[in-house]
């Protein structure tokens, strides 16, 4: 079970044991992490599940695909480490992943 840490905008850390194959968004919603709205339910169609991948993980998580990148243009304060959390799947390789929730969505 990989570990995932989601840091809310106020600094609250949610340290979670998550299922391989689950998305960061699913775990954020399940654990009521504030600031991850996920209006479209994970269809890569809303950009309200925007997170920043921690700098130390950004390379490992990798870049968004074209569809996600287009959607990210609608995200509030997009940065080079921005991803839509519904498109980031947890794997054993990502054990220990840290992501940060932005100040607000869209
Ligand atoms: Fe809508 Fe991720 S939940 S784009």
The predicted-structure confidence for 47-70, as pLDDT tens digits, reads as follows: 999 999 999 999 999 999 999 999
What are the b/e assignments for 82-101, b being 16+ CB within 10 Å?
Answer: bbbbbbbebeeebeebbbbb
Which neighbouring-strand residues pair with 53?
99
In this predicted structure, the answer to whether residue 106 has a pLDDT above a threshold of 80 is no
Q: Is the distance from the beta carbon of residue 44 to the nearest atom of ligand 1 less than 6 Å? A: yes
Cα separation of 56 and 20, whole Å? 20
- Would 48 be classed as within a structural domain? yes
- Would 40 be classed as within a structural domain? yes
Cα separation of 53 and 59, whole Å? 9
- What's the domain count of the chain? 1
- Would 106 be classed as within a structural domain? no
- Would 27 be classed as within a structural domain? yes
How many other CB atoms are found less than 10 A from the CB of residue 35? Answer: 19
Residue 42 CA: nearest ligand 1 atom is: 3
The CATH number that applies at residue 28 is 3.10.20.30
Q: Is the distance from the beta carbon of residue 84 to the nearest atom of ligand 1 less than 6 Å? A: yes
- Would 105 be classed as within a structural domain? no
Q: Is the distance from the beta carbon of residue 86 to the nearest atom of ligand 1 less than 6 Å? A: yes
Cα separation of 100 and 106, whole Å? 15
Q: Is the distance from the beta carbon of residue 18 to the nearest atom of ligand 1 less than 6 Å? A: no
Domain boundaries, position 22: 3-100
User: pLDDT of 10-39, one tens digit each?
Assistant: 999 999 999 999 999 999 999 999 999 999
């Amino acid at each position: 079970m990989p570990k995932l840490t989601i840091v809310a905008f106020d600094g609250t850390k949610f340290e979670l044991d998550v299922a391989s194959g689950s998305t960061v968004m699913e775990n954020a919603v399940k654990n009521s992490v504030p600031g991850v709205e996920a209006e479209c339910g994970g269809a890569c169609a809303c950009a309200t599940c925007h997170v920043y991948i921690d700098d130390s993980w950004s390379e490992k998580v990798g870049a968004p695909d074209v569809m996600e990148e287009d959607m990210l243009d609608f995200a509030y304060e997009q940065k080079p480490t921005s991803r839509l959390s519904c498109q980031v799947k947890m794997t054993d390789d990502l054990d220990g992943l840290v992501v940060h929730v932005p100040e607000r969505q869209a």
